[in-house]
């Protein structure tokens, strides 16, 4: 046997491996979802590993019912850092359509045609509540007499996309009790709490789901929560420095008007809570919050975008995510500017610190559009206010503002140049400060002196 053939066999054995009926349950490490050897009358015949060949493609657990029905259970992310938990999200709708299109294209390459049939949304009752699942059917036909039917279920769980594809020959029939029992069993497995429930991956998935629920909207004002978190952390750290640990913890506990402290998706909140509980002698709670802080560290740093390019920004839920992302790196933010990208509102954040060798770098962030849209609706900055609806002094201030605006528009001062100059000076000063050169940083700030006289438009 040639070396090339041996290599090929070994590679294939790594990508696909069959397990006998007596083998143990397969557990997908990234999601914790299990594929039992036997499930609702189906036998698992193997597990196909796509992730090792291309990150994001996950795995497929292959099942068979007698010799007449075949089902593949796919668990993957598609390269998406934060998979929506709601299947009505546009991203999941696109994945559904892409899947149906790929099935049709694969049929065409074999000289076959795929005809779409039923398209519906099903609901499966689980121990964690109802789960919505997309359901589609297709008939694959060829020039000959043979045909086959394909059934597809698609939903999300544990920050992953799950998909079941079941195939039955056209001459056969699909017993309702058989296919329903199987797909519902898979849905319930994916929805079940993970064993222990406190592992790092479980906590990451939990925080991702909490973030998604906040982004979808509800009773919690995310912008207000973000502001309150920053204020509580600032005051809590001040009290901690004074040795007033109980009051510092009390300041954090005020945040429970938004959610239990353990469920607040904030690295700073979880880290400070861990420190304070430790100082107060509560080792169990200190350990629990430290585990949550570690989960949030990985979530912010690895799971919601790299941030190294506008095309892959860190997908922030709230502004406090940006400051926490920087604090985790012991970095200082020198500048924040808008950097629109392909119709999206992206922020370019210039920062520096030990991880950058004191040199400025740029990271890109995108606040969840749903959160931003709700904030704009509440603020409504540009809605006109009728004079009759103004307070007593309102009309007077309105006229004064008109006069100031007219003077500003006729002013010859180069304000745009001043903005550029300020950004340059602050960036330079922040870099010097990050290099441990505070005096040079102050000298750089002094560079703004005398700018006014030289910035008049000639």
CB atoms within 10 A of CB 62: 20
Residue ranges, CATH 3.40.1000.10, the chain: 14-191
Q: How do beta strands 314-316 and 347-352 pair?
A: unpaired
Q: In 3D, which of 38, 30, 40, 121 has the Cα closest to residue 75?
A: 30
Q: How do beta strands 361-367 and 314-316 pair?
A: parallel
Q: In 3D, which of 305, 342, 296, 314 has the Cα closest to residue 80?
A: 305
pLDDT 10s digits, 55-103: 888 899 999 987 778 899 999 988 887 788 889 888 899 999 999 999 8
**Residue 419 has which token pair?**
């903005």
What pLDDT band is residue 13 in, cutting at 50, 70 and 90?
very low
3-state helix, strand, coil in the chain (%, to 5): 45, 25, 30
**Residue 89 has which token pair?**
């999200």
**Coil, helix or strand at residue 88:** coil
Find where tokens 């709601």 sit: 86
pLDDT 10s digits, 103-162: 899 888 888 888 899 999 999 888 778 899 999 999 888 766 667 888 999 999 888 899
pLDDT for 402 equals 86
**Residue 11 has which token pair?**
């590679």
Query: Is 304:324 a contact under the CB 8 Å cutoff?
Result: no
What's the whole-model pTM score?
A: 0.48
Q: Give the whole-angstrom CA distance, residue 238 versus residue 397.
A: 39
Q: Give the whole-angstrom CA distance, residue 85 versus residue 213.
A: 8
What pLDDT band is residue 16 in, cutting at 50, 70 and 90?
very low
Whether residue 15 is predicted with pLDDT greater than 50 in this model: the reply is: no
Q: Give the whole-angstrom CA distance, residue 385 versus residue 364.
A: 35
Q: What is the DSSP letter of 356?
A: G
305: left (phi over 0), alpha (psi -120 to 50) or beta: left
pLDDT for 162 equals 95
CB atoms within 10 A of CB 166: 23
Residue 309 Cα distances to 104, 315, 357, 361, angstroms = 34, 12, 20, 11
Query: Is 213:308 a contact under the CB 8 Å cutoff?
Result: no
**3 burial type by CB count under 10 A (0-12 exposed, 13-18 middle, 19+ buried):** exposed
Give CB contacts under 8 A, 24+ apart, made by 335-341: 335/423, 335/426, 335/427, 335/430, 337/423, 339/310, 339/364, 341/310, 341/311, 341/313
> In b/e form, how buried is each residue of 79-89, taking b as 16+ CB within 10 angstroms?
ebbbbbbebeb
**Coil, helix or strand at residue 363:** strand
Query: Is 168:86 a contact under the CB 8 Å cutoff?
Result: no
pLDDT 10s digits, 224-252: 898 999 999 999 999 999 999 999 999 99
pLDDT for 251 equals 94
Number of helical H runs and strand E runs in the chain: 14, 15
pLDDT 10s digits, 352-377: 888 888 889 999 999 888 777 776 66
What pLDDT band is residue 404 in, cutting at 50, 70 and 90?
confident
Q: How do beta strands 113-126 and 59-65 pair?
A: unpaired
**Coil, helix or strand at residue 387:** helix
Q: In 3D, which of 451, 446, 392, 383 has the Cα closest to residue 419?
A: 451
Query: Is 152:184 a contact under the CB 8 Å cutoff?
Result: no
CA 156 to chain centre: 13
What pLDDT band is residue 458 in, cutting at 50, 70 and 90?
very low
**Coil, helix or strand at residue 73:** strand
pLDDT 10s digits, 318-354: 888 998 999 888 888 888 888 888 888 899 999 988 8
Phi, psi of 22 (to 5 degrees): -90, 0
> Max CA-CA distance within the chain?
95
Q: Which fold does the domain 14-191 belong to in CATH?
A: Protein Transport Mog1p; Chain A (3.40.1000)
Residue 175 CB partners (closer than 8 Å, separation 6+): none
Q: Give the whole-angstrom CA distance, residue 307 versus residue 305.
A: 6
| Rg of the chain on CA atoms, in Å | 28
């Amino acid at each position: 046997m040639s070396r090339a053939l041996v290599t090929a066999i070994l590679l294939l054995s790594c990508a696909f491996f069959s397990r006998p009926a007596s083998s143990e349950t397969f557990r997908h490490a990234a999601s914790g979802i299990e594929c039992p050897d036997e499930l609702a009358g189906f036998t698992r015949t193997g597990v196909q590993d796509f992730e090792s060949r291309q990150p994001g493609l996950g795995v497929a657990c292959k099942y068979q019912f007698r010799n007449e029905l075949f089902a593949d259970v796919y668990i993957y992310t598609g390269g998406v850092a934060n998979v929506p938990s709601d299947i009505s999200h546009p991203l999941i709708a696109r994945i559904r359509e892409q899947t149906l299109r790929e099935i049709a294209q694969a049929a065409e390459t074999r000289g076959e045609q795929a005809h779409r049939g039923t398209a519906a949304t099903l609901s499966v009752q689980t121990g964690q509540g109802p789960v919505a699942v997309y359901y589609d059917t297709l008939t694959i036909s060829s020039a000959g007499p043979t045909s086959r039917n394909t059934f597809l279920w698609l939903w999300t769980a544990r920050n992953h996309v799950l998909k079941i594809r079941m195939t039955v020959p056209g001459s056969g029939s699909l017993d309702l009790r058989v296919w329903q029992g199987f797909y519902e069993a898979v849905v319930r497995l994916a929805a079940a709490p993970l064993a222990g429930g406190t592992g790092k991956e479980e906590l990451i998935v939990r925080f991702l789901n909490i973030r998604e629920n906040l982004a979808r909207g509800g009773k919690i004002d995310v912008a207000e929560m973000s502001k309150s978190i920053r204020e509580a952390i600032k005051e809590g750290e001040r009290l901690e420095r004074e040795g007033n640990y109980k009051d510092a913890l009390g300041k954090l506990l005020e945040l429970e008007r938004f959610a239990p402290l353990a469920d607040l998706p904030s690295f700073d909140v979880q880290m400070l809570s861990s420190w304070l509980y430790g100082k107060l002698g509560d080792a169990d709670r200190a350990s629990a919050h430290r585990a949550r802080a570690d989960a949030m560290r990985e979530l912010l740093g690895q799971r919601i975008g790299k941030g190294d390019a506008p095309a892959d920004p860190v997908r922030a839920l709230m502004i406090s995510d940006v400051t926490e992302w920087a604090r985790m790196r012991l970095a200082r933010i020198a500048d924040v500017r808008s950097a629109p990208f392909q119709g999206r509102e992206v922020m370019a954040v210039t920062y520096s610190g030990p991880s950058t060798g004191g040199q400025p770098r740029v990271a890109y962030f995108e606040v969840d559009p749903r959160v931003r849209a709700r904030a704009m609706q509440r603020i409504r900055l540009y809605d006109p206010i009728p004079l009759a609806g103004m307070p007593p002094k309102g009309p007077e201030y309105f006229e004064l503002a008109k006069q100031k605006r007219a003077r500003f528009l006729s002013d010859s001062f180069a304000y745009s140049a001043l903005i550029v100059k300020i950004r340059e000076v602050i960036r330079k000063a922040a870099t010097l400060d990050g290099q441990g050169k505070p005096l040079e940083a102050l000298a750089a700030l002094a560079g703004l002196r005398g700018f006014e006289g030289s910035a008049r438009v000639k």
